[in-house]
Amino acid sequence: MHTKTQPRTLTRCPDLLLMKTFTRGDFLRAMNNEGNILAQAWKKRYEALAPDIQKRLDDLSRHFDRGESEHYKLQYIKKSYVLPETGDVFVCKPVNDLYYCGVVLNAHIKNMIGDDMYVVLIFNSHSDSIDRIDFKPDYENILLEPQMISRALWTKGWFKNIMHIEDLGDVPSYGFYKYCYDHPYWDEYDNKIDKRPEYLTIGATTVYGLGYEITKELIISGQV
């Protein structure tokens, strides 16, 4: 069934259909095709940055392409096998040795990517110690927009839960961009969204991909 429906839905990325398997690099090259709204938005943002920041981002991109993860991966904190839940607040520790807070916006999602996916958001609030974190959700101060991830961030020790909140507040709208499909905007359950949400990302992010995206934002904001 999957092989029959794929050619009909992936109409905008024909090159990928010729591959039995394709890497994240293959996918990102397809995503850079003209007409991709996320690629165009990034191009516009990048060109507005100072030359020294552009150079640092270029260097980071090369490190990512080469798999030199010491330049962008999250630092180990502590492994946990407890199932994360919506409203769990966690910390992660990027390359600048500070703890940044995040929150689980949705948990235990079943979609075409996996049977237990999570949507998280990373705030631009940080501390040099887990013991000195005073957290409240501030959606006006976001470091990294909502991302879809797997439980591996916790089981590998890169996320550590520190508290739970029942009220997430006024969560901004978010969705996932499927450039290769006929319809561009989707929710985490693979349902179509009619209007573009406030935050839009490309879909599931790997453990190393998340570290890369966080490091990229830290470079842009001058925090590393």
Q: State mean pLDDT over 205-220.
A: 96
DSSP per residue, 165-199? -S---SPPPEEEE-TTSSS-EE-TTS-B-SS--SE
Evaluate whether 102 touches 159 at the Cβ level (below 8 Å).
Answer: yes
Q: How far apart are CA 214 and CA 44, in angstroms?
A: 19
Give the pLDDT confidence score for residue 28 in this predicted structure.
54
Which residues touch 2 (CB under 8 Å, ≥6 apart)? none
pLDDT in tens, 74-101: 999 999 999 999 999 999 999 999 999 9
pLDDT in tens, 156-167: 999 999 999 999
pLDDT in tens, 117-126: 999 999 999 9
Q: State mean pLDDT over 42-69.
A: 96
Confidence bin at 179 (pLDDT 50/70/90): confident
Q: For residue 48, how far is the Cα from the chain centroid?
A: 22
Give the pLDDT confidence score for residue 133 in this predicted structure.
87
Confidence bin at 21 (pLDDT 50/70/90): very low
Q: How many CA atoms lie within 13 A of 94 on its CB side?
A: 27
Residue 18 clears pLDDT 50, i.e. is over it: no
Confidence bin at 191 (pLDDT 50/70/90): very high
More reliable by pLDDT, 122 or 20: 122
Q: What is the pTM of this model?
A: 0.84
